[in-house]
Amino acid sequence: MKTCIKCHVRVTDSTDVCPLCKSVLSEPRGPASQNAFPTPEIDSKQYHFLKRLLIFLSVIVGSASLFINFITYDGFLWSLITVAGILYLWAVISHSVANHINVASKILVQSFLGSIFIVLIDYLLGYRGWSVDFVIPSIFSTADVAVVIVILINRMNWRNYMLYQFVIALLGFVPLLLYLINISDNPIFVIISTSLSALSLLGTFIFGDKAVKSELRRRLHF
């Protein structure tokens, strides 16, 4: 058998150098041996050009707008909207475009991040309250309806949408809360969002069978 005189070990690989110290083996032309592993793949092509290009552009656009905003500052921090927009775009790319993520989870994350983005824009534009009055209730009303549509289309998979449906429905009560503490003051949108959320929860309790309820128990076990 092939032997390394320096390491005092035998080598069964089909090679003529010692894998430990790279010395030439004695009897390098010993009996032909089989490799014990598939040939290792050196994966040096793992390179996502598009992703790198997008990162590059994001950093340039973000810092350029911060810089221009800074040298021409007149009391309006518009560059923060650009930066938030870029961050929002990345959240969309990494979460909502990814294939293996649950549709209901995408709806939830989109509504949540979208609401934060909208409030930020409203705030930077001198806060007139349109974000909490109209946009947030509309976002969650739409999300409530969207999740219910997803469930109706694929009812056998209801269990998988359940947790997200619940969180969305609970977030749908946030406009009511904002109304009660006088942050928002448009009752019509609040009523729509609150009742859609309540309907979504009520529907689950009435139409959901044992499986749906046991799903809730496991999702919320603590």
Q: Where does this chain bind other proteins (CB under 8 A)?
A: 1, 4, 7-13, 15, 17-22, 34-44, 46, 100, 152, 155-156, 158-159, 163, 167, 209-212, 214, 218-222
> Residue 23 carries which DSSP code?
P
Nearer to other proteins, 32 or 181 (CB): 32
- Other beta carbons within 10 angstroms of residue 47's beta carbon come to 8
Q: How far is the CB of 179 from other proteins (least distance, A)?
A: 26
Nearer to other proteins, 164 or 179 (CB): 164
User: To the nearest 10°, the Cα dihedral for 23, 26, 29, 35?
Assistant: -60
Maximum distance among all Cα pairs of the chain, rounded to whole angstroms: 90
Instruction: Characterize 84-104 residue by residue with b for buried, 16 or more Cβ atoms within 10 angstroms of its Cβ, and e for exposed.
Output: bbbebeebeeeeeeeeeeebb
Q: How far is the CB of 214 from other proteins (least distance, A)?
A: 6
Can you tell me the distance from the alpha carbon of 205 to that of 181, in angstroms, rounded to the nearest whole number? 29
Nearer to other proteins, 187 or 218 (CB): 218
Residue type, 183: I
Q: How far is the CB of 135 from other proteins (least distance, A)?
A: 25
Q: How far is the CB of 14 from other proteins (least distance, A)?
A: 9
Nearer to other proteins, 45 or 128 (CB): 45
Q: How far is the CB of 34 from other proteins (least distance, A)?
A: 7
Name the one residue in this structure whose structure tokens are 């010692």.
18
Nearer to other proteins, 1 or 64 (CB): 1
Region class of 146: left (phi > 0), else alpha (psi between -120 and 50), else beta: alpha
Q: Which of 83, 30, 97 is nearest to 11 (CA)?
A: 30
